[in-house]
Chain A
């Protein structure tokens, strides 16, 4: 039941967003034509290169390769991170054991680990997926853990009063209670996974998006470079938006 005023508000918000994009596109075009710097190409040229990339299938292929890495690494991080967070929230001893590593992994520049992984694992799909995993996992685990800790003590007492078994307490209170923080963690984890994927490919991959970027750069095909970057931006934004929609769906009770 959305009121007319709310609908108008929504239309207004969307128009404002589109306008903001338009302004950005205009500035880009003008700045590109004015040749502020040699590398900066106008939007029109970038779009043309994008069409070419799509037409030749190069872009689709690169996305396919990159997303295989992203999905593998992120899925592993989601499963492992959520489980770890839940276990840490349930068993206090485990919490102190793990926290150090998670905090280290979260606060250090994760890219610094890449040479180490290269050295031990060599190039390839597995090494790249591992890097994506390492980028995403700490924030997912930490958020899930915080989600468990944030569950009100009174809810746990209430469940005990109504005779919840340990598994019921977990399934009916702790798990659903930590979903909000867990979802936020997964969303942040996914943005970090994107960063991990591109970083790994820029350094490691003979294929994929990162490679497309580095090849375009070395061949001075700046339109292509901009086109690839733009496509990544758009896809990443769409996926994160999709996740936010799922999250809102799951957390209807909060609104």
Chain B
């Protein structure tokens, strides 16, 4: 599969609030190499989701442009899929159809798309829940449905908005290592949003720390941990703890 990088050139964005514009993103300049795993870390409301939606082509920036594989982004495309922070599941269809939804929209025949969906349902450890409706699932389970749906369309670029925020700590660690393995296998380009410094360090090649109001990049941090990373030896390493400490220092400054 062709690998694609993502470039953000001078992205700015404001929203209207009570008739006056509030600047949310200010001159964001980020380059994500093809096959690279980058994370965005920053306080709540600093514009992480907004950035991700701009990359996904769901929002238009007021200034600047997003370039993917030499082409300017003008809208959503088959090269990208998003794991949404608020899950965004269709409440009236079951897990199987939710996971297969992206494939359904692309006209993949029913038998084929359900087979693919079942594989990913298994990957996110929801086997047996194929015919449950979203309101019968816990928040963490719903989040995994959204994750499976995004993976099922097999995009080159995965945009993940706090995909493990609602899952419990054990599952989160399992998913982190699964995602790390998946990335190792397929070398997808991943843009990952998280509040967890440990998670960012464990998964990423590079971490961008954002400040709030207006959101801008205050620090670009390169993670020098070797790959492939297995959870046990990485988390205990000196490099790991020092990286987390460093990020904590940067974030504390922002408060």
Contacts and interface: CB of A to CB of B under 8 A. Distances in A.
Given A172-B105, A179-B92, A161 B86 contact: no
Contacts of A158: 82, 84, 88
Interface stretch (A49-57, A162-170, A207-215): A162-170
Nearest to B59: A157
| Central interface residue in A157, A159, A179, by most chain B CB within 10 Å | A157
B53 A157 contact: yes
B58 A161 contact: yes
Interface in A29-80: none
Contact of A164 (B56, B77, B78, B105): B105
B90 interface: yes
Contact of B92 (A157, A160, A162, A176): A176
A155 interface: yes
Contacts, number: 61
A157 B88 CA distance: 9
Nearest to A252: B133
B31 interface: no
Nearest to A158: B88
Interface centre among A161, A172, A173 (most CB of B within 10 A): A161
B101 interface: yes
Size class of the contact patch on chain A = 20 to 34
Interface in B135-192: 135, 149, 153
B81 interface: yes
Dominant secondary structure at the B interface: loop
A91 B133 CA distance: 30
B43 interface: no
A162 B105 contact: yes
Interface string A146-184: 000000101101111111110010001100110100000
A221 to B, nearest CB: 51
Contacts of A177: 90, 92
Contacts of A24: none
Contacts of A165: 105
A99 B92 CA distance: 28
B185 to A, nearest CB: 23
A152 B58 CA distance: 15
A163 B90 contact: no
Contacts of B57: 161
A162 B84 contact: no
Contacts of B80: 161
B102 A162 contact: yes
B105 A253 contact: no
A121 to B, nearest CB: 42
A2 interface: no
A161 B82 contact: yes
B76 interface: yes
A4 interface: no
A157 B90 CA distance: 12
A254 B105 contact: no
B53 A163 contact: no
Contact of A254 (B75, B93, B135): B135
Nearest to A152: B88
B91 A163 contact: no
14 contacts: A155-B88, A157-B84, A162-B81, A162-B101, A162-B105, A162-B149, A163-B105, A163-B106, A168-B105, A172-B105, A177-B90, A177-B92, A252-B133, A253-B92
Interface of B: 53, 56-58, 75-78, 80-82, 84, 86, 88, 90-93, 101-102, 104-106, 133-135, 149, 153
Which 10 pairs show the lowest CB-CB distances between chains A and B?
Answer: A158-B88, A162-B102, A253-B133, A154-B88, A253-B92, A176-B92, A161-B82, A164-B105, A161-B76, A157-B58
Interface of A: 152, 154-155, 157-165, 168, 172-173, 176-177, 179, 252-254
